[in-house]
Amino acid sequence: LDPDERLVLGDEILTPDSSRFWPAAAYAPGGPQPSYDKQYVRDYCERLGWDKTAPGPTVPADVVAGTRKRYVEAFELLTELAFDAYLADPDLVLR
């Protein structure tokens, strides 16, 4: 709580790193969901058979690009802003 007894959120919320997002229209109970989060990287590492012992595997450029694409799409869906417009004027998210 802050000095005025108001609850303050001190962590992240609603980011692809802390939340799971997927398109409602594509939701299918009982199966894997197309997602806008870090599961894409986890799936890549799992396909390699990585046992989660450091150091982790090198993530290739196509997996980085695919992850970025998902994060940008999540941003645009959640904010209804074009990511390029946000990069040009970050204050757009405050309006």
- Confirm if 36 and 71 have CB atoms less than 8 A apart: yes
> CA-to-CA distance for 89 and 80, rounded, in angstroms?
14
- Max CA-CA distance within the chain? 51
List the chain domain ranges: 24-94
Residue-wise pLDDT tens digits, 26-85:
888 888 888 888 889 999 999 999 999 999 999 999 999 999 999 999 999 989 999 999
Q: Where are the alpha helices (DSSP H) in 1-95?
A: 39-48, 61-79, 83-88
> CA-to-CA distance for 20 and 71, rounded, in angstroms?
11
Instruction: State the pTM of this model.
Output: 0.75
Residue-wise pLDDT tens digits, 5-25:
988 777 777 777 778 888 888
